Chains A and B, each alone.
Chain A
Amino acid sequence: MNQANRNVHTSKVRAAEVRTESRTLPLSGIKVIELGNFISAPYCGKLLADSGADVIKIERPGSGDESRSYGPFPQDIPDLEKSGLFLYLNTSKRGVTLNLDSHTGRALFHKLLANADVLIENCQPEQYDKWELNYDCLSQVNPRLVVTSISPYGRSGPYQRYRAYHHNACALGGVFTMGDPEREPLTLPLFQGHFQGGIHGAVGTMMALFARQITNEGQHVDIAEADIWAGYFSAVGIQAYVYADRIRKRAGHRTKGFYYPLCILPCKDGYISEVAVLGTQWKSFLELIGRGQVPEWYQNDPRFQDRVMSSIDFADELDRKQSPWLMQYTKEEIFAMCRERRIPFAPVYTIDEVVNHVHLKEYGYFVDITHPKTGPLKYPGAPFRFSETPMRSSRAPLLGEHNHEVYCNQLGLSKEDLVRLTQAGVV
């Protein structure tokens, strides 16, 4: 069997395996087309695919999804088939290549949509217009299609055509509330906004599928990362402004205006995160560092009795008072002592400590997936766990891996047609 046929055979067998397994998965039978790039739409597609939906991912011929070029790469050697971000975000999907800039490509795209339940897209505004991805157009192709759009600012509103990357949406959404007050503000790390777009997109898609059970019609689900930051994450902040004239400002390693302590402090071998919502928890910690009773320097100082005021006016002093004790012990020692006393303090774990943590190991959170190009690798696992229909991740597709299966077997093109289309740069 030559290589081309072997790929076809392997993918047929793998697809068959996927389809058999997916009968026991929550979303088996749902057909999704993903026109997604980088993170937000692909994370949405991954959540659905790992739960049994049949997700066909459309990538640009040649370079494919941008995340293929992002890495990380094993031994830092870039390879379109070995990017960690791509491999994680695109598990359990089938992959085809298609050039939507061509009319023929768009016609094939519409054929795919005609038989699908869901389209997920996160295209740039120019592509959204050029490829006519608006709902009015697509609903004519398939009135039962759910179209889920994920973008920084949404598909409506005055800023819908603004140029925007991930951090710009964080800015509009108001989540630069981290960092040192004397320096530039910081926001959440890596690409949390895109992941939120993805998870909210998956939720919206499911809502639309439930609606379709009642109305027998599709609809447009429009997700904006800025909306999520502003409305979902920061609504309480707006209330604080309107009714108490308070605006949240960054305060470095701590948060002001909440019960002291709410901060990250150094200890012997790293950092400890402190929070004590209940007074009893804070008292337990004071007794711990006072070797059995609340230290006199705390007891006798009336300034410290109001914990909210303490967080604003006396936090530096309280941090200094705690420090000698913290510096005597390691993260794990402090964590163990706090757990014993039901104090909710915890180590600030670095990523290696998370990956190697005995709790996540026993829980079985991380998963090993073998890929023809990388061999076995450890990936983050499922964000939640079902008792009857556990999610499972099968490996991400190679670029164009399922072209034959989808265009020929499913859409009825001949092998020769597929060759012509590939030669013409349509596929």
Chain B
Amino acid sequence: MTTPSAKSNKAVLPLEKYRVADFTTVAAGPLLGSILADFGAEVIKIESRVRIDAMRMGPENLEKHPDKDPAFLHANRNKLGITLNFEKPEAISLAKRLIAVSDVVVENFSPRVMPKWGLDYASLRKTKPDIIMVSLSACGQAGPLKDVVAYGPTLSSLSGIDSLVGYEGDRPLGTQGFYTDWNSPIHGVLAVLMALWHREQTGIGQYIDAAQWQATVSCLPEAVMDYTMNGRVARPRGNSQPGFAPHNVYPCQEEDKWVSVCVKTDLEWERLRGAMGHPPWTDDPRFANQLGRWKNRVEIDKAIARWTANYTHHDLTTLLQSHGVAAMAFLDSSERLFDPHLEDRQVYTEVTHPLMGDYIIGGIPWKLSGTPGQIRRASPLMGQHNSYVFGNILGLSPQEISRLEKEQVIY
């Protein structure tokens, strides 16, 4: 069951006239292509049985079957899939032929790989002068660390963002996720769309260097500028946010359930007081203004926590919202799936996969009223579209394809 398109009579997909040759592997790189595919581009994922994409064999894949990995399904939905074994020279010329009829090339190998195969930008320009190529990398295509082996956590730490996560005055605990990994491809998508737009106006293609380190630091300007202006080095500060107090998550009745409460103005503080029933401790003159509440935030947090512990996180959210306080329960995976707002926003959706059946994946977080994105197909099985791509797009005969399969070129 694929998701119906939201409120639109048009079947138009914004990127329907573009074709993308997608060489990416593992977690973040493939997301770039899937976003282009969600909005209509024909994205052809190029893989090989010689070296199966680690994402096809991730920890969630309990059967260890390369066509049954849930994360792979999410990050490669809407794509077509072919196999090409670049240890064989013929595979390289086939790749070039595909690129000659494509608009965009996406890759996230370490910088030596594409040049080794003769698929670097300078070479590809000879095949297709207006090709747009984007390389997603850890640290960029230039500089002393350009060849560093890195995953999301490596980049989180290099970028400085990990040093900002922790309790006030305490050691850095790090983001513990792959935030920087996910932040990189979304910036890469923007770069590709801008380059495509530019090419539509001018006919000129170009090369895009999309580095994870740089994309992350671009989201930390407050910390950067405080250092470049004042020499101050930002440290972890828990959930505190300058300009707000109280501002934290508070424990609820159930075990390990929390509600995020954010109070900025004196008016919002009055509303919170009202919701709490004006307990005497809130009459303390130290808390009457924003400066006082900031200075005494630790004490205030403790007092609020004593009150919130009487409520479930859902009840507390409802109560505080009814008093006009910015509050929201922290929802874990089990709860997000059933939250009525997230459901209404179609944040999660289902796709039908030939082997996995109906399976949950992330939805499309851009709500376009006129031409919404669509989940049109599941992620490809290994080599699922070999016959379509090599036969229909590149015009090879079935006998040719057969020979190439036997010789492990299409493999």
Contact = CB atoms under 8 A, between A and B. Distances in A.
A163 B321 contact: yes
A172 B331 contact: yes
Nearest to A147: B369
A82 to B, nearest CB: 9
B342 A172 contact: yes
A4 interface: no
Size bracket, chain A contacts: 35 or more
Contacts of A27: 194, 197-198
A357 B25 CA distance: 28
A191 to B, nearest CB: 8
Nearest to A220: B369
B344 A206 contact: no
B348 A238 contact: yes
A311 B232 CA distance: 36
Interface in B177-194: 177, 179, 182-183, 186-191, 193-194
Given A355-B228, A362-B142, A385-B209, A168 B345 contact: no
Given A223-B365, A227-B342, A365-B214, A211 B326 contact: no
A172 B209 contact: no
| Candidate in A25, A85, A203, A359 with the most chain B CB atoms within 10 angstroms | A203
Interface in A257-280: 257-259, 262, 264, 266, 271-275, 277
A273 B156 contact: yes
Interface stretch (B97-105, B255-263, B389-397, B398-406): B255-263
Nearest to A224: B345
Given A180-B173, A206-B194, A389-B198, A211 B371 contact: yes
Contacts of A258: 59
B227 A271 contact: no
B14 A381 contact: no
B113 to A, nearest CB: 14
Interface stretch (A11-19, A103-111, A239-247, A295-303): A239-247
A275 B153 contact: yes
Contacts of B211: 363, 384-385
B366 A200 contact: yes
A327 B377 CA distance: 51
> When A and B form their complex, which 4 residue pairs have the shortest distance between CB atoms, in order from nearest?
A235-B362, A84-B225, A219-B370, A273-B157
Given A162-B326, A228-B365, A258-B59, 16 more contacts: A72-B226, A154-B345, A162-B321, A169-B328, A171-B329, A184-B250, A190-B222, A207-B14, A219-B369, A221-B366, A230-B342, A254-B176, A349-B163, A365-B214, A380-B217, A386-B194
14 contacts: A26-B198, A154-B367, A184-B250, A186-B167, A208-B14, A209-B197, A211-B370, A230-B348, A243-B70, A273-B174, A346-B148, A353-B160, A355-B224, A387-B209
